[in-house]
Amino acid sequence: MSEKLTKTALTPATHTTPPAKFSHGVKKGNILQVAGQVGFGPAVEGQAPTPVGPGLREQTLQTLANVEAILKEGGASWEDVMMMRVYLTDTSHFAELNAIYNEYFDGLQEAPAARTTVYVGLPAGLLVEIDALAVLG
């Protein structure tokens, strides 16, 4: 009989507690799913999350930092990421996002699969959301 794997919710110290019953990330066995992250700055106790800068670059870099914090919390790194999904609120941001993405992941040995789409459902002021799936080991 096989042993049941434990599912562990991940919330790094840099993140606020989710406002509903969901997790910023979940790890089960060697699989780690990072929920959609946005460009909120690090958590400040007693304050609501606040987007960094109004521009795509600031928000994308913060979003990637937020994804990375969850990866690290679960014992993973960008090298473990198999798939990333990027959601933009404006089609005119594709070229800028690609430039930021290429610069950010310049040293990555193998790039993950990725998908970018336009999504209009982000809260006001947010320009990008990213989620990731990692396999450890």
Could you report the per-residue pLDDT of 75-110, keeping only the tens digit for each? 999 999 999 999 999 999 999 999 999 999 999 999
pTM of the predicted structure, to 2 decimals: 0.94
Q: Residues 120, 123, 128, 132: what is their CA dihedral angle, to the nearest 10 degrees?
A: -100
Q: How far apart are CA 135 and CA 31, in angstroms?
A: 5
Residue 102 half-sphere exposure, CB side, CA atoms within 13 Å? 6
pLDDT at 1 over 80: no
CA angle 35, 130, 134 (to 5 degrees): 60
**In this predicted model, what pLDDT tens digit does every residue of 16-50 receive, in sequence order?**
988 889 999 999 999 999 999 999 999 988 888 89
